[in-house]
Structures are given as structure tokens and as C-alpha cells.
Structure 1
Amino acid sequence: MVKTQFGYDLKVFRSDNALELCFTDLFASLGIHHFSCVETPQQNAVVERKHQHLLAVARALFFQSRIPERFWGDCVLTATFFINRLPSPLLGGKSPFELLHDHPPDYQSLRVFGSLCFVSTLRAHRDKFSERALPGVFIGYAPGMKGYKIYILKTRSIVVSRDVVFHEEIFPFHTLTNFEAMVDPFPDVSLPNGVSVSIPDPSSQFDHHRVPSRVHDAEIIVENTTLVEPLVDTASVVNSHAEPVVPSPVEPVIESTTEPVVEDEPDTVLTGDTEPIISSDHVSPIGVTSDIAPIVVPAQHLGPIDQPRRSVRVVRKPSYLHNYYCNATSSCSYPIEDYLPPQLSSSYAAFLANLSTSIEPSFYHQAVKVPEWRVAMQDELRAMENLQTWTVVSLPPGKQPIDCKWVYRIKHNSDGTIDRYKARLVAKGFTQVEGIDYTDTFSLVAKMTSFKVLLSFAVVHDWHLLQLDVNNAFLNGSLDEEVYMKLPLGYQTDVQGPDLVCKLQKSIYGLKQASRQWFQTFHAVVLKFGFTQSPSEHSFFIKGSSDDLIALLVYVDDVVLAGKHLASLLNVQNFLKEHFKLKKLGSLKYFLGFEISQNQDGITLCQRHYALQLLEDTGSLGKKPVDLPIIANHKLNMNEGELLPDPQIYRRLIGRLLYLTHTRPDITYDVHLLSQFVSMPRVPHLHAAHHLLSYIKKAPALGLFFSSKSSLQLSCFVDSDYSACPDTRRSITGFCTYLGTNLISWKSKKQHTVSRSSCEAEYRAMATATCELVWLAALLSSFNIDASPVFLYCDNQAAIHLALNQVFHERTKHIKVDCHFVREKLNSGFLKLFHVRSKGQLADIFTKALHSPAFSDFVFKMGLTNVHPSPF
């Protein structure tokens, strides 16, 4: 094959002394055979090492799919198929397949080994009422054919087909009730003397172009008119490694007759004109066709005759034929309930135990098959009709309707249990035309820093925290523009006419102006109740005095209420319920993907669920954890390495990592660094991103801790890394801000201009940090807190002297006036500047990649904590 396909002559064929590899005459004529010494595998090391590689991958496939062991050969063949198509750094980033064939392999045809699939039956061998597809298990790729090897569960045969529909998240052998029976479905049978059983290999007689009409077609012949009790001992029929796959075995009863008895249904035996009765489980092997040799029972093994009786057993389908719902909890990849630490409170542990991942449908045709999602869609349409969201009209001439789609989410209660299945109809706003379908789109949302300030203030003052969800929030906003939308899938109307569309009256989800219209409505309602909008955070509202202060934070349709007295919060909740349809979610535990736990010591904020989902989606659950998010002294730049063929993969990954930095300051610098390359990502950048994922896997539940014993003193650590960018030579600014001992904000950012000295770089970093401190002080004033003076810590003496003195010389005269904003705040008493040693400069972690001891020390000093043990 090597010579025929690739034009190369085979020079050497090296093997051990295995007889199956000794083609003596052929190899002698070609002169290519080399032998290794007996029991000396070292002389054939390359092959032995590749055997280890093949078996490691094959075992992974075997354990993932839980496929019966008799399919071990298919595991090895599939592992070989994968390895030949995997890029290798030893081959210059190319795969063996690509080097042989001079073109890359087709990765679109790869499927998950051992997953559920449905194979189309051939038209020529089916009638009107035959099955159009048979369930099976994917077990590999057919050599020399463009087709998939499928093990048909119903007929227990292997077919090759290209017309296959895959359900790659479902593994049938995970859920079989009698897994041991699948290890050897056709065991050797050992019966007493005189009893013979002949069960041929079905693969030798099975024609995969033919679909049998029924599964159980075994024949039973009894030589006397007496009855077996029991026919054969179960242990003698089925070996110790296999059990019957029949759902519930019953007492065997065989009709006495000298005529052949043909089993017509799984639980009945017909004998001429007699009525159906129950047959023995031992004489009804699954998947055996009617041409199987009969079972003969001599008279000496027969007992007294009993009257036949009808079957009372309920026939159940095998587990692999059951319906698989898209939200089945068995599909959870990392059930949280397996990894709960003992130190959690019972209520919070119950919340986490219920917060397992459930698969949510992506398309209407998937959701409509599940009753819960059908009800959710009906509720959504009913709510839209009650709110008079649209009127059904004929499309006016010259108007272009926008499209819409369904989005599905599972909502949880405060204890983590499933509350409801939420189906939301959203418009495809990206098809709207500016100036015709919309004008203004800007809308306010709360900053994550504001949320952390609220948590820190609430835990120090022992406030109650409640969470509310506004149902169909956007439908409360009215539209000013004339917008038409296509009729939603599943919506029925009595209106008659051509080109029926929905003329929108309300701002449904997906419209570009929808969030703006909703916030204007909500803003008017909360002001009516007496709330005051914070001038520094417009999504933050305050009501009352210091003794009965109530804080309200809104992020789109999610609302957080905080206050000293629970009764006051309930009054606000009842007022909002008069204007909007609210869902009361109880105490704050899960907000915008953040998991919040609280006890007498403080509040923990993490994104464990989000981090694990990110690891799963990127295929990183199997990565080996590492101690550092990025290698110290890295050499990442804009020009080294090959460009990625699909930059969207890198951009999507960086976008998700950016959201994770809201609770993970330890990866902020690394994500900031990698985000610089999103315009033209290269292979080294993607490798660094996957290295970061390996670090996240080490502690996916690492997060912030807000201590209840903290003070409310505002302080900040600021640092810079001079000329750190190898492409632009600009410096990196880093700072972290504390409210007492609670970390509330941080940043890692490249400076806008090149600095001429480290003093200038530090001074510019101080100016950036001062801007953040001024805003935070204004936000704290909403809580009636005077933040002055604010402590600012810097490790550069020259920058401190420059800030404290009006120095003007050749090396500082060019610095822009806005940087001297620091001097103004120092002179007014708002800032107090302190020098800190480099080893105590916490902001150092935001400016450069550190070595392991220093990095671990800073993570500890920042107050990061991990309340969950790692599942890995």
C-alpha cells in the first residue's frame, strides 16, 4: 500500500518474533524484515511507544463511552484514526495525515465515540409502516469508505452508513439497566445432559440491508407433554459475566405440546390454537432471528403439568429506546453536588447541590418536543397578548419586517431547584435599520464595581440582601417607532389577510432600543416611590436615612435590594409588584452568573459555575492544572507565530475570560495581555490562552471574600511596569482598590503614550488610579460615607516626590496637565500618599507575569478564597 498509494519503497519491516508477523517467503524475497531479540522490546522502541499512545487514547474512549469490552478493537481503530489526524508540534504543527496526503484532514466529519445515533434504513427494504431509522451507537469510521460504523442496538449488528443523525451528548451504554449483559450478549450456554442449545453468531447471518420485523423470534420444541420447573437454572444458562437484558424476569412457564412453539411477542408463546402464555426468559435471547436452531428438552427433565396462565407483566421498552429529553440531569458534565465541602451551611449547600448544569435547547424544533418548553412558550405568548405587545396586521407596502427567534433558559429558585422553564421570544434586532426602526439605543446598566461596593457595605452593616426578577421587563416599555415583525413560530391567530405580520407596540427583547425604553419606565416608577438616583451610578438608587437606608441596584431586569430592615425591603417589593410582574427569588445567592454565599464571617463571591462551563466548552476539563496563569518572562508579541486560521475561536475565548475577571483579579493581567492580540491572533497567543485555562482548572471556585469585620477606609495600591509592551514600548498601569480589607476594584491597562522614564510611568498610573478613587468616593457618598482621606500606596520614590512637589525640569515638563490631577487631590486633602516596598506592592500582580512564590503570596494577600474543593 505504501508503494501503491504514496510511491515509496519499503526499506525495512521491523517486528518481534510474533508468528502473525512472520511472512517469511514474502519478506525474504523483498529483503526487508528485521527481527528484535526475544523479550527485548527496547529494540523496537518506536512501535512499543506508539502502542502505549494508542492504548491510552483507546482507554479514554472506552471509559468515556462505557462501551462493552468486546468492542475494544473499535476503540483502538478509532484512536488510530484520531491520532493520525491530530496536529503535532514534532511535525511542525501538521498531522500525519496532512504530511502523507498534502492536504489537511476533514475535521467536520468527526463524531463523539460511543454516542447515540440514528441510522436511516434503506428504502428498498422497508414498507409504509417500517421504521425509517434505527437507534445505534457510533463505534468508528469505516476504512476505505466514507461512512460511519454503527452498532445497531435493536438487531445487535454492525452496519456502515453515511445517513446518520448524531446525538453526541447522549451515551446509551451509560444508561443500560443491565450493562453486564452487553459485555457478551451471546454467551456460551452450558445446560444439563440432554439439553442442547445452538445459538449461531448473528453477524454471520445478518443482512444489514434488512430490518427484522420483531426482535424475539426463537423457536422452542418440547419432547413430552410435561412441564419444566424451572426449565434450566439461571446460573447454568447465563455465565457469570452476563445477565439477561429483559427488564423484569418472571417465573418460566412453557406450554406442553409436541408441536413447535413460536414466540410471537416478547412475553407470549403461541401453540397452535392455545392462548398466549408467558415464556421463559432463558429461552428468549434478544436479537436472535427465527432461523436459529431450536432448544430441545428431553422428557426426564420435565415435571407435572400446570394450567397455562396469562402474562401479567408490564412490557417496558429497553432503556436505549427511551425518550432522551434535552434537559435530562444525567447529561450533567460536572454535578456540583459531588463536590460540596463540609464547611458550607445547610441552606447554601442545598442551593449548590441543585445548581447542576442542564442542557437547554437551542432551536424551536428541539424545544417543541418537550412538554415543559411547550408550556413555557405558550405562557410567553399569552403574556405578550395580555400586555398588548403587538397587533396582527397585513404588511404595509414598502415596509420590511424583522425576524424573531425563541431563546430558552432554566430559572432556579433561591435554593437552586428548578423554578420554571423560561422561553423568551426575541427579535433579531441586528436587521433593524437606523433612522427607520430606531433612533437612540443607549441604556444604563450597573457596573460590577458598584455591585461589589454594595456587597461590602451590606456585609459590614449586616444588611439583608434580596433578589428580584422582573418578568417580561422589556414589554413594559412602549415603542416610539413603527416596527413590524414576522409571526413567531408556534403562534396562531384568527386574523385573516395576506402577508400577516406583528406590528409592535412594546419594546420586546432583541430590539436595539428595547433596554432604553425599559429603563426609562423603571426609572420613573422607582422615583415615584421616593428613591433618589445616585449621580455617580445611574443604575443605583437610594431611599431613606442612615437608620433606615434602602439601596436598589438594577441590571437590565435583575434587581438587588439591600437594607437593614427586612420589612422596609418587603414594602419596596410590594410597590414594584403593583407596577411590574415580579418573580421573588429570595435571598441573594445567584446573580448574573455570580455565586454568593453568606455567613457570620462575610460574603463569598465567585463564578465557579461559569468557570466550569468555560472549561467544558473549550475542551479543557481534561487539562493538567498548572500553578501560574502565564509563564513568567513570556515573549508574546504581535508578529511571532503563524496566524490562526479561524480568529473567531480566540476572540470568543477572550471575551468569556474577560467576564471571568469580575471575580478573578489573579488572571486580570493575563487576560489584558491576551486581549491585545484579538485583531490578529496567532498560534502562541492561543497556546497562552489554553495555559490560562489550565490555571483556572486548578481552582475554578476561587473568588472574592468580603469580611463582615472590615472597616470602610478607602485605599489603593498602584504600580506600573515601565516600557513593558515589546511592540509599542508603552508601560502597563495596574491598581487595586480596597474598602477596608475588601477588594472592590482593580485594573490592568496599557498606558496611552510612551513614558520617558519609570517615574513618569508611575506618575501616569497614579493619575489613572486617582480617577477611580474620586468616582468610588462619590459612590460611597450615596451611603452617607465621607471617604476622605483616601490612602494611595506607591513603590516609586521619584513619582511620590513628583506628586508632592511642583517639580519642573527637563524630564517632567512634557507631562500633560491632566496627570497633575494627582497634585490637586493631594493638596485638597482627598489623597494621602504613602510609600510601600516592592514586596508589599499588591498591584504588582496587575503589571507583569510573576514567578510562583511571589504570585501565590499576592493571591493570598488580596484576600482571594476558595470555598469549594476542586473536582479535579
Structure 2
Amino acid sequence: MLSEANLATQLWAESVNTACYTQNRSLIVKRFWRTPYELFRNRKPSIEHLHIFGCVCYILNNKDNLGKFDSKSDDGIFLGYSSIPKTYRVFNKQRQTIEETIHVHFDESGPTFPHPQDNAEINQWADSFFQVPDIPIADPTSQDLPDGFEETPLPPSQITIPPVINATPITQVTPERDQPTSSEDFSQTTVSEPTPTTTNLLPDPSLNEASTLGQVYQPPALRWTKDHPIDQVLGNPSSGVKTRRQYGNICLYVNFISENEPKEIDDALRDPAWVSAMQEELAEFIRNNVCLLVPRPRKHTIIGSKWIFMNKLDEVGTIIRNKARLVAQGYRQEEGIDYDETFAPVARLEAIRLFLAFAAHMNFKVFQMDIKNAFLNGKLNEEVYVAQPPGFVDTWYDTLSTFFLSKGFERGKIDSTSFLKKYPKHILLVQIYVDDIIFGSTNPKLCEKFELLMKTEYKMSMMGELTYFLGLQIKQSEKGIYIKPGKYVLDMLKKFDLTSCTPMKTPMAPPLSLDKDSKGKPVDVTLYRGMIGSQLYLTASRPDIMYSTCLCARYQAEPKESHLTAVKRIFRYLKGTPNLGLWYSKDSGFDLTAYSDSDFAGCKIDRKSTTGGCHLLGGKLVSWTSKKQNYVSTSTSEAEYVAAGICCAQVLWLRNQLQDYDIQLSKIPIYCDDTSAIAIANNPVLHYKTKHIEVRYHFIRDHVMNGDIELHFVPTEYQLADLFTKPQDVTRFNMLISELGMLNPDE
């Protein structure tokens, strides 16, 4: 940079600062695909103010008392950027100083860099200003001191500098460089404190024009010496000098939890926090006798292994634990040869919400515990050779379920991840999700006994009351349970750089209905799919964006600008409602009710209808759906009838799940706003106009006849499932989410 701009090497600091400033705003970090400025500031930098280093510029002269015909600007050279926003560092040729100002005009129309002769002034100024004075060396004289030090009083010596700079006389003594650096060889010297002076070098008759400079700051001479008085040395002088990198390693041990999730083992080995997590994992292998170290067999295939690193977060997004797991690379095995069919049961989100709704109804606290090594204690029936200790999810589930059954627990009839133990007047409920366990009981003492039981058998970490689970922030109170997505909404807005967007009151405005938009402008497929994926994860706790997100998800193959605009509107709605969540009241009862609805030929591409439905337990919303039907309906009644069949299937699953809680339900009401669909479901005779409907949707008739469900008519204005089939205006949208039990604690 200095060579290209024809500047002196003494200005290297200005070029380094400019290079760092530019690279921080332009150099892309491949790991994150963002600039360092974005990683630090969480926003994209502006590059409109960047200019070429060393180019010609003109500085507004607002200091001198100028006449009408005097030049209003001074010639200058651009040297970089200031720490003050919108401020530049420039060399003023008239004043012979480096200034920081915002009133600069850059001339980049002609030759960018000045001729070497034009830069003679700044180069001469740099040579004189940055000249390091030679400090005379005096030989120390030995004197008797109690600690073996020697003191030599020396007369001050005048430092020779350019004639235009006034300097304060400084006394400096430096020992010979080849002397040892032990504490016994230090010589104590008397050094007069240098006084930095600022000399105003404006035009003066006693000075010629060539020696005229601006205000120059003369740094103390001690800044350029390596040998300081012994009384000013901190620490042990014989211990050597620690570099900044060494101090960084020392400070690193203070941070016991790492914030970054390494992708490779080499990155993890550089972080003591992750090294500790891996050592804890291997220690559990030894404690549980997971594997036995044997010589490598010749006739057996060795299964590889891999480290998985993940941070465990609390309800506010704070990292509370670094988790390292060593897993076997099972994809190298062949089904039927190395293993048979395997299963890894995982709790459904409806089961988790049903668990919390029952806890709110029974008014008991829900607790959470984490098994530190859930993948270790599974018993393998085959002889397996791996590079390092293996573990499998399904074997862990078999081990844990066997333990629960041996202690008197009953497995759920529908949900195999649910376990319960019944007492004469109380009940203990346990729900597992891989290595996380939530549990609760109507008797708090039973929770304490269960905690003690688990700690005696496994290495557990009790996390107290349930506050954060599967990305859901859960707040328990005496009046009920409040569920919201927590910090995920704000993180999602930051991820897609939408933190400064304008909030909206609804996720989608009626009568918007997206189509293929074949003539529209294509957008980035990766960006669009990333936005849709983030919103789909959010629908687990935000039913208000279910329909709009699912509608936009239909166009992931070839997204256009109109589709991206609709997705961004959902983000704008989330910006205005980040704390909106589900409220499970204690005093709202526990009767199961369902709402079923459908639009007719709502999709403009294939003319298929959209099914919408929701299920409430005493006003507590536990399940909802918005999905395009599999085939084309020929009438509104047919579309409503198909939607009622899908809703009935979910009702039966919830009814069977509640049987594990000793709750027996019959004649469960399903509310529909189409009388023809209700008549078809209640009619035992198959009409000729319904013969073409697929057989799987006709099972609703059997359950109506058996008394398991009842279909009731509800006017469209009271149809709660209307939220999941079409866009709504602001008034109706707020009414629907309020009836579904969604509230904002900030309002």
C-alpha cells in the first residue's frame, strides 16, 4: 500500500490500520459466510465511505480567517479512517499535520495516487517526525547496596532531534545488551521523568517555511527503550516476558464453558472447555464398563466413531453446559447383515403439550433432569468392534424402559416414551426424550423419591423446575403454565438481518393467495428454504403462523420474489409479537373438544383444498394442523368431510393417550361449519355421490355410530379452525388467537 501510494515507510501504522479496517468489512469468513464486522456487530457494514489509501483529497479549511478570494480547502493525502464514525485521517500539506475531519472531498477522477515529487513534503515530514533519537549509554558504577543492586547517578544529557521540535532533556541509562537478565544484574538508575511537550509551530520569522510544522506531540523517549528501572518492573524480572498469546491462554481457563460449537475434533482440542467435556465422556465409558480394549481382529469390520459437540441452553439462551458425545458411525453397517430393524422412540410434541396441560389442570410442578451419558449404558446383544466406545439410542431406551418397568412403572399404551406409576390418591408421570426426562406428580414427595431413584442408578444432573425443553420456554405459576418459543424468535430475526424491520399485525393479509408466479423474479433458494425451515420449527409453539408458513413452504422448489415477500411479512409479524405464547390455565377444565375446517380448491396450482384443525383440553390448545389434502375434492362438502376424518384421527389418538392418565372420554365433540359434511358422516348408508371418496376417510362413520365422537354444527364466525385454512383480517385474527388461548404477557 505504501509503495503503491508513493509514501514513506514511517507511515506503516496508518496503512496497517486502513488494511484492518477494510478487511473487517469486506473479507468473508468461510466458516460463517459473514464478515468479521457482521460477526461482531450483528449487522452488515456500509462500504460507501471507503476510499483508496493515499489518494488525493481536499480538506475544508474552517480554522483560518480566510478572505473572499482565499482558497477554502487545503490539499491533502488520504491516510485512513478514524475511530470516530464518518471521520477520516488525512495529511494536510498546508499545515503539515495529520488531521481527523469529516469535511473531505476525494479526487478519484484523475490519477489516483500523487506523483512521488508531490509526496516529498509528507515523506520529509514523516522522516523527521518519526526519527528515533540515539540515547547515550553509560556504564554503571558499582556501589554497595543491601540487595546487590547498583545505583549510578548520572547528569542529564541533551537529546538531539530535528531543529523544529522542542524536547525536554531526558536522562536515560541502558545496560549492555549482552549482559544477563537476572535480577542480580539489574542496575538501579535515576531517571528524570520526561515531560511530553506540544510545540505550536506556526509560521514564525525565526523559522523558514521548510521547517514549519503543525502541532507535534513529542512522545517520551522511554517508549523506545527495552530497559527500564528495576523499581518500575512488575512481577519477577527473571521470569521473562509473557506475550499476549500466553496471557490469552491463561485467561481462557477462567471461562469454564465455551460458547462455540466445534465442528472438527482439532478445533475442540484447542478449547479446554471441550477437552473437559470429552474427558468426562470417556470417564463415563470407564465407569459403566462400556467397552474392552482388545487387539484389532483380522476378520471383523471395524466401525468408526465420531465426536458430536453441542451446547445446552437454558430458557434465556445462556449456555449452561458443553456436551460431547462419542457416537458410532452406523451408516457403515448393512441392514440384515450387521443389524436388524431398529427403533428409537421419541416423544411427539403433542404428547409434551398434553403432559403440560394435565400438569396445569392438576396444579402440580413439572421438573426436569438430564442424563449425562444417555448413549453409554445400552446393552448390545452382538459382538461389535469399534474404534472407540460406541452407543446407540435404541439400546438406551431399552435399558431405561426395562429399569422403569422393574420399579413398578407402567408404559403408555399409545406413547411408548411415557411412563407412569399410580398410587391410591396420587400419580407420578414421566416423559422421556432421548437423554432428557421431565416428570411431575400430584405429591411433591414422590418427585423427590423419583429423583433419588434415578441418581442411584444413573449419573444424573437435576435441573430443577422445568423452564426450557425442546426449544420451548416454560413458565410455571399457581394459575397455570405459559409456553412460548423464548429467545428463538429474536435469534431468527438476527440470523436473517431483519431486526430493524417494521412490525405487522397479522402474518398474512387477506385475500392473499400465492401461486406459482412463473413470470416473477427468482430469489436465492437456499435463503428461502432457510427461512421456511426456521419458521416451521417455530410452529411447534406458535399456531398463529401455521397456515401462512405452510402456504409459503409449498413454493420451496422455485421461489420467486412474491413468495419471499410473503415470508418476510411473517417475520415482520413475529417482530411485533416475540413473546406471544400458549396459556394453560388451571381453572379451565379438561374436556376434549375439536374444530375442523377446510377451504375449497384453495391451491391455485392443483386446485386441492387445505385441511385445518385444532384440539383443546378445557381451553388448552394441545394440537393443531394445517395441511393440503392429498386429492382434489369436487365440492365444499367433500372437502369438509375429508377434513373431519383427519380431525377424528387426531381426536382418537388424544383420547387413547388420556386413558393412561385415568381419564375416560366418549362422545367427543367435533365442531364443523358445513351441515352437508355432518349429514354424510351421520348417514350409515353410502350415497352414490360419496363413492369416489377414499375409503380411509369413511372410518369417521364407524366412530360416530359407536358413540366415540359427535359432529356438531358451528357458525363460521365461531369456527376456531378458520385460522388454519385462510388469511384473516386484524380483528378476526386477534379474536381467534385469543379464543385459542394465546396471549402476550407484555400487553
> Structure 1 length as normaliser, TM-score?
0.61
Matches within 5 A, 1:89-108: none
Q: Does 1:275 align with 2:189?
A: yes
Q: Does 1:725 align with 2:627?
A: no
Corresponding residue for residue 464 of structure 1:
365
For residues 794-848 of structure 1, the C-alpha deviation after alignment (integer angstroms, 9 at most, x for no partner) is: 1112222222334654433433444333333233332233221111111011111
What is the one-letter code of the residue matched to 2:272?
A: P
C-alpha change, 1:606 and 1:283, in structure 2 (3 Å) is farther
User: Given that residues 794 and 834 in structure 1 are in contact (C-alpha distance below 8 angstroms), is that contact kept between their aligned partners in structure 2?
Assistant: yes
C-alpha change, 1:438 and 1:183, in structure 2 (3 Å) is farther
Match for residue 532 of structure 2 among 654, 668, 673: 654
Matches within 5 A, 1:176-195: none
Match for residue 156 of structure 2 among 221, 232, 257: 257
Match for residue 231 of structure 2 among 310, 329, 334: 310
Q: Does 1:621 align with 2:523?
A: no
Corresponding residue for residue 619 of structure 2:
741
C-alpha change, 1:551 and 1:458, in structure 2 (3 Å) is same
SS at match of 2:232: coil
Corresponding residue for residue 793 of structure 1:
671
Match for residue 474 of structure 1 among 364, 372, 375: 375
What is the one-letter code of the residue matched to 1:258?
A: S
Matches within 5 A, 1:390-401: 390-393=291-294, 395-397=296-298, 401=302
Shift of 1:639: 6.3
For 1:795 and 1:442, the matched residues in 2 are separated by 41
Name which one, 1 or 2, has greater alpha-carbon Rg: 2
Bigger drift between 571-580 and 462-471 goes to: 571-580
Matches within 5 A, 1:228-627: 257-260=156-159, 270-271=172-173, 275=189, 282=196, 295=218, 310-311=231-232, 323=248, 358-393=259-294, 395-397=296-298, 401-411=302-312, 419-481=320-382, 483-485=384-386, 501-502=387-388, 504=389, 506-507=390-391, 514-545=392-423, 547-627=425-505
What is the one-letter code of the residue matched to 2:570?
A: L
For 1:471 and 1:745, the matched residues in 2 are separated by 31
For residues 576-601 of structure 1, the C-alpha deviation after alignment (integer angstroms, 9 at most, x for no partner) is: 22322111111111111111001122
Q: Does 1:769 align with 2:647?
A: yes
For 2:98 and 2:696, the matched residues in 1 are separated by 89
For residues 248-300 of structure 1, the C-alpha deviation after alignment (integer angstroms, 9 at most, x for no partner) is: xxxxxx996124399xxxxx98335673758569579xxxxxxx989499xxx
For residues 304-327 of structure 1, the C-alpha deviation after alignment (integer angstroms, 9 at most, x for no partner) is: xxxx98326689999999749999
What is the one-letter code of the residue matched to 1:111?
A: T
What is the one-letter code of the residue matched to 2:189?
A: E
Bigger drift between 850-859 and 680-689 goes to: 680-689
Corresponding residue for residue 35 of structure 2:
111
Bigger drift between 387-396 and 614-623 goes to: 387-396
Matches within 5 A, 1:16-165: 111-113=35-37
SS at match of 1:783: coil
SS at match of 1:474: coil
For residues 461-482 of structure 1, the C-alpha deviation after alignment (integer angstroms, 9 at most, x for no partner) is: 1112111111110111133455
User: Given that residues 579 and 744 in structure 2 are in contact (C-alpha distance below 8 angstroms), is that contact kept between their aligned partners in structure 1?
Assistant: yes
For 1:459 and 1:107, the matched residues in 2 are separated by 44
For 1:206 and 1:641, the matched residues in 2 are separated by 61
User: Given that residues 253 and 272 in structure 2 are in contact (C-alpha distance below 8 angstroms), is that contact kept between their aligned partners in structure 1?
Assistant: no
For residues 49-76 of structure 1, the C-alpha deviation after alignment (integer angstroms, 9 at most, x for no partner) is: xxxxxxxxxxxxxxxxxxx9xx999999
Shift of 1:782: 1.1
For 2:121 and 2:337, the matched residues in 1 are separated by 65
User: Given that residues 517 and 562 in structure 2 are in contact (C-alpha distance below 8 angstroms), is that contact kept between their aligned partners in structure 1?
Assistant: no
Shift of 1:849: 1.9
Corresponding residue for residue 239 of structure 1:
none
Corresponding residue for residue 582 of structure 2:
704
For residues 71-91 of structure 1, the C-alpha deviation after alignment (integer angstroms, 9 at most, x for no partner) is: 999999999x99xx9xxxxxx
**CA-atom RMSD, angstroms?**
5.1
Shift of 1:742: 0.7
For 1:737 and 1:206, the matched residues in 2 are separated by 82
User: Given that residues 173 and 189 in structure 2 are in contact (C-alpha distance below 8 angstroms), is that contact kept between their aligned partners in structure 1?
Assistant: yes
Bigger drift between 565-574 and 840-849 goes to: 565-574
For 1:759 and 1:325, the matched residues in 2 are separated by 72
For 2:729 and 2:716, the matched residues in 1 are separated by 14
Q: Count matched residues.
A: 616
Corresponding residue for residue 103 of structure 1:
none
Bigger drift between 678-687 and 691-700 goes to: 678-687
Match for residue 555 of structure 2 among 668, 677, 683: 677
Shift of 1:378: 1.7
For residues 468-526 of structure 1, the C-alpha deviation after alignment (integer angstroms, 9 at most, x for no partner) is: 111110111133455554xxxxxxxxxxxxxxx33x4x42xxxxxx2111111111010
> Percent same amino acid at aligned positions?
29
User: Given that residues 364 and 406 in structure 1 are in contact (C-alpha distance below 8 angstroms), is that contact kept between their aligned partners in structure 2?
Assistant: yes
Q: Does 1:821 align with 2:720?
A: no
What is the one-letter code of the residue matched to 2:612?
A: G
C-alpha change, 1:309 and 1:472, in structure 2 (3 Å) is closer
For 1:366 and 1:359, the matched residues in 2 are separated by 10
For 2:154 and 2:644, the matched residues in 1 are separated by 95
User: Given that residues 595 and 671 in structure 2 are in contact (C-alpha distance below 8 angstroms), is that contact kept between their aligned partners in structure 1?
Assistant: yes
For residues 117-174 of structure 1, the C-alpha deviation after alignment (integer angstroms, 9 at most, x for no partner) is: 9xxxxxxxxxxxxxxxxxxx998999899xxxxxxxxxxx9999xxxxxxxxxxxx9x
User: Given that residues 368 and 439 in structure 2 are in contact (C-alpha distance below 8 angstroms), is that contact kept between their aligned partners in structure 1?
Assistant: yes
What is the one-letter code of the residue matched to 2:583?
A: F
Shift of 1:662: 1.0
C-alpha change, 1:623 and 1:815, in structure 2 (3 Å) is same
User: Given that residues 315 and 473 in structure 2 are in contact (C-alpha distance below 8 angstroms), is that contact kept between their aligned partners in structure 1?
Assistant: no
User: Given that residues 219 and 295 in structure 1 are in contact (C-alpha distance below 8 angstroms), is that contact kept between their aligned partners in structure 2?
Assistant: no
Corresponding residue for residue 737 of structure 2:
859
> Structure 2 length as normaliser, TM-score?
0.70
Shift of 1:530: 0.7
Identify unmatched segments of 5+ residues in structure 2.
Answer: 1-13, 54-76, 101-112, 114-118, 124-129, 137-152, 162-169, 176-187, 199-214, 221-228
What is the one-letter code of the residue matched to 1:260?
A: I
User: Given that residues 466 and 562 in structure 1 are in contact (C-alpha distance below 8 angstroms), is that contact kept between their aligned partners in structure 2?
Assistant: yes
For 1:664 and 1:729, the matched residues in 2 are separated by 27
C-alpha change, 1:396 and 1:807, in structure 2 (3 Å) is same
What is the one-letter code of the residue matched to 1:837?
A: P
What is the one-letter code of the residue matched to 2:432?
A: V
SS at match of 2:463: strand
SS at match of 2:321: strand
What is the one-letter code of the residue matched to 1:834?
A: H
User: Given that residues 735 and 748 in structure 1 are in contact (C-alpha distance below 8 angstroms), is that contact kept between their aligned partners in structure 2?
Assistant: yes
Shift of 1:656: 3.0
For 1:599 and 1:519, the matched residues in 2 are separated by 32
Corresponding residue for residue 192 of structure 1:
none
What is the one-letter code of the residue matched to 2:671?
A: Y
